[in-house]
Structure 1
Amino acid sequence: MPFRITEQAANEIRLSNHAAPGQGQHLRVAAKRKTDGSIGYAMGFDEPAETDTISTQHDVQILIGLASADLLAGAVLDYTKPDDDESDQFIFLNPNDPGFVSPDGQR
């Protein structure tokens, strides 16, 4: 299953891209396994590399490098307000992460 972004995440990404002139037009999403087995994430605007997987979702062009592809397979990037006390934020819903709990509470 490929990496996906929600429409809410895409809206925020497009707003961020317009606020950062001179940045690349593609969103690079990266993942790396940490020493404790969990997955760390990074994202930012970039230009495509020859070996990147490029997809377009909700009018956002997404780059994923070879080193991150397996870790991001089946993951979803969302933009949400997780708790009443927290501000809106990007979240990764990734079944490849050992600590993953789906929104419906399933592991």
Structure 2
Amino acid sequence: MFTLTPAAATRILDSATQSDAEGMALRIAAKIEDDGRLAFGLGFDDEREHDLAYECEGLTVLIAPPSRDLLDGMLLDFVEVEPGEWQFVFMQTQAPGGSCPPSSCGGCGSRSGCGSAS
């Protein structure tokens, strides 16, 4: 399952308030680029038919069927990558199909930046 850290959720909730998207769900997407890299996207959206929808850290998370397997076992965090530079990062925290609670899944796996949110 895809999870969020409290830091990521706080930043997303703040962004929702600033952009008049308060109360909207957070859509998370992933796809494999032509060069084999995994690309991520996130934004506020309405639920659609066949979406996986669940609550995580006070947000409704939406994942469309094509992204489910790619996001399984991923964690979204909001971290300071350099002094004063904050970014969302996606981390693989477990093998796809496994499970562990968000509080025990931080910090392992490779990091992949997903834009800046300063």
Deviations 1:19-40 (A, max 9, x none): 1115770000000001121100
CA shift in 2, pair 1:74/1:5, >3 Å: same
State the TM-score, normalized to the length of structure 2.
Answer: 0.75
1:94 CA displacement: 2.7
Q: Aligned residue for 1:49?
A: 48
State the TM-score, normalized to the length of structure 1.
Answer: 0.82
Alignment of 1:81-92 (within 5 A): 81-84=80-83, 87-92=85-90
Q: 1:93 aligns with which of 84, 91, 94?
A: 91
Long gaps (5+) in structure 2: 96-105, 111-118
Q: Is 2:2 the counterpart of 1:6?
A: no
1:57 CA displacement: 0.9
Contact 1:7 1:58 in 2 (8 A): yes
Letter in 1 for 2:18: A
Q: Runs in 1 of length 4+ with deviation above 2 angstroms?
A: 102-106
- Alignment length, in residue pairs? 99
Long gaps (5+) in structure 1: 97-101
Classify the secondary structure of the residue corresponding to 2:20: coil
Pairwise CA RMSD: 2.3
In 2: Cα distance, 1:105 partner to 1:78 partner: 12
Contact 2:74 2:92 in 1 (8 A): yes
